[in-house]
Amino acid sequence: APAALRDACDAFRARERAWLPAYALFRVLRRLHRGAAWPQWPSPWREGPEAAAAALTPALRRAVERETFVQFVFQRQWDALREAAHARGVLLCGDLPIYPAYDSADVWADRRLFRLDARGAPLESAGVPPDAFAPQGQWWGSPLYDWPRMAEAGYAWWVERVRVQGERFDLLRIDHFRGYEAYWAVPANARSAAEGYWCPGPGAEPFLRVQALPDPPALLAEDLGTITPAVEALREALRLPGMRVLQFGFDGDLANPHLPRNYVAACVAYSGTHDNDTTLGWWRGLDAAARARVREALGACREPMPWPLLQAVLDSKAALAVLPLQDLLGLDSRARFNTPGTLDGNWRWRLPPRRLTPALAARVRAALGAGGRCA
């Protein structure tokens, strides 16, 4: 009934008041300015939600109401999707990027919480130092949090962000967890991410605020990259499971935590992540010495690659095993999702039609059973 729908929308609006009004207004203003980034908007629109709301015309106010209703409808549809998944024994895992984009409703509405100058431009931006993925480091371009100012407000903005996503998923992956212990800051005038420097993060306090919520979400720490004892200590103090990635495990170090035999129960194990090559592509790219180390670790391989590698993940002690669909389909490097530090050709892979067959389902179930992962 219309009245019931209106009441439900009003309840949604009240529950999400910390982000919804500014987000809906931002979407309307984005269309008004033909997709231009908010720093390019004229005043008063670029000054933030309070100044912009005061200048709205009746037509724009109606547009904001429509955008609010769209978000309400999306939430209802998402809730229905999640209920359908749960009815089939499927849980949903989400991902929380450590920073929002500079050109986002988050930064436009709450720029005081970010490291910006008086004109609203980033003083520094986010990235990571040089590593195996990127010899010059990665320069993400996202603005950095002003953590001391966040602390003054009890980390309310960050906690609300985690709460909203935590209510939509059964498990929430905290991207770049190491950035909460220390993060890489790249100055605005730097020539590459390699010119950045480490800054202390907020530590445990934001997470303790989340854990104090009435119904705290289940969190997973993405603890890949330059991981120090301090990062490990922070994750362990918060009792968050970390990540293990099989493709990182065969460097010859028998104590490598990514080697499947070294996985612990309190972790989530992946054959590869969205940032890795497919497991078949990775295997084909190994030299003879690396292949020998893999075969030594796996023992006799009765099936062609990548299935012995996938089975090693399923056979491990990890509480949760994640196998990308490209790996289950045995696809090569042409199906790679993302190459870190690059801008072109990423996130374009799509599932080919009619590839999820009963035969594949039976094979996956047999592998799960062999690994003790079937109910």
CATH number, domain with residue 209: 3.20.20.80
Model pLDDT, residue 76: 97
Domain count for the chain: 2
Check whether residue 146 and residue 81 sit in a common domain: no
Residue 177 tokens, joined: 């967890």
190 assigned to some structural domain: yes
Model pLDDT, residue 301: 83
Listed in sequence order, the residues at least 6 apart from 322 whose beta carbon sits closer than 8 Å to its beta carbon are 268, 269, 270, 271, 313
The amino acid at residue 254 is L
Check whether residue 58 and residue 178 sit in a common domain: no
The domain boundary residue, chosen from 35, 60, 90: 90
Residue 182: phi and psi, rounded to 5, are -160, 140
Residue 125 tokens, joined: 């931006």
The domain boundary residue, chosen from 90, 105, 134: 90
Check whether residue 8 and residue 84 sit in a common domain: yes
Model pLDDT, residue 80: 98
136 assigned to some structural domain: yes
**What is the domain extent for residue 78?**
1-90
Check whether residue 49 and residue 120 sit in a common domain: no
For 3, 135, 166, 330, the CA distances from 128, given in Å and listed in that order, are: 51, 11, 26, 31
Instruction: Report d(CA 310, CA 279) in Å as an integer.
Output: 8
Place of tokens 């966040």: 150
Task: For residue 57, count CB atoms less than 10 angstroms from its CB and return exposed for 0-12, middle for 13-18, buried for 19 or more.
Answer: exposed
Annotate 207-218 with DSSP letters as a single string.
Answer: HHHHHTSSSPPP
Sheet holding 242-245, edge to edge: 242-245, 267-270, 320-322
375 assigned to some structural domain: no
Element (H, E) at 186: strand 182-187
Model pLDDT, residue 314: 97
Q: Is residue 222 annotated as part of the catalytic site, yes or no?
A: yes
- Active site residue: 170, 175, 205, 232, which one? 175
Model pLDDT, residue 1: 62
Q: Is residue 344 annotated as part of the catalytic site, yes or no?
A: no
**Mind listing the pLDDT tens digit of every residue in the chain (375 residues)?**
689 999 999 999 999 999 999 999 999 999 999 999 999 999 999 999 999 999 999 999 999 999 999 999 999 999 999 999 999 999 999 999 999 999 999 999 999 999 999 999 999 999 999 887 678 888 999 999 999 999 999 999 999 999 999 999 999 999 999 999 999 999 999 999 999 999 999 999 999 999 999 999 999 999 998 899 999 999 999 999 999 999 999 999 999 999 999 999 999 999 999 999 999 999 999 999 999 999 999 988 889 999 999 999 999 999 999 999 999 999 999 999 999 878 899 999 999 999 999 999 999 999 999 999 987
- Active site residue: 103, 131, 275, 332, which one? 275
Check whether residue 243 and residue 132 sit in a common domain: yes
Element (H, E) at 36: none
Q: Is residue 236 annotated as part of the catalytic site, yes or no?
A: no
**Which tens digit of pLDDT belongs to each residue from 53-82?**
999 999 999 999 999 999 999 999 999 999
Residue 265 tokens, joined: 């129960």
Instruction: Report d(CA 162, CA 97) in Å as an integer.
Output: 10
Check whether residue 174 and residue 290 sit in a common domain: yes
pTM of this structure: 0.92
Model pLDDT, residue 62: 98
Check whether residue 119 and residue 9 sit in a common domain: no
User: Using alpha carbons only, what angle is made at residue 126 by residues 120 and 127, rounded to the nearest 5 degrees?
Assistant: 155
The domain boundary residue, chosen from 42, 73, 90: 90
The amino acid at residue 90 is V
- Active site residue: 67, 222, 223, 315, which one? 222
Place of tokens 């170090």: 253
| Contact call for residues 159 and 213 (beta carbons, < 8 A) | yes
Instruction: Report d(CA 185, CA 285) in Å as an integer.
Output: 33
171 assigned to some structural domain: yes
Model pLDDT, residue 366: 96
Listed in sequence order, the residues at least 6 apart from 220 whose beta carbon sits closer than 8 Å to its beta carbon are 93, 171, 172, 173, 174, 240, 241, 242, 243, 268
Contacts by residues 179-182 (CB-CB < 8 Å, ≥ 24 positions apart): 179/98, 179/126, 180/98, 180/206, 180/207, 180/234, 181/228, 181/230, 181/231, 181/234, 182/228, 182/230, 182/231
Task: For residue 281, count CB atoms less than 10 angstroms from its CB and return exposed for 0-12, middle for 13-18, buried for 19 or more.
Answer: buried
Check whether residue 34 and residue 14 sit in a common domain: yes
| Contact call for residues 127 and 196 (beta carbons, < 8 A) | yes
Model pLDDT, residue 302: 84
Say how many Å lie between the first and final Cα of the chain, rounded. Answer: 42
Instruction: Report d(CA 264, CA 243) in Å as an integer.
Output: 10
Check whether residue 299 and residue 263 sit in a common domain: yes
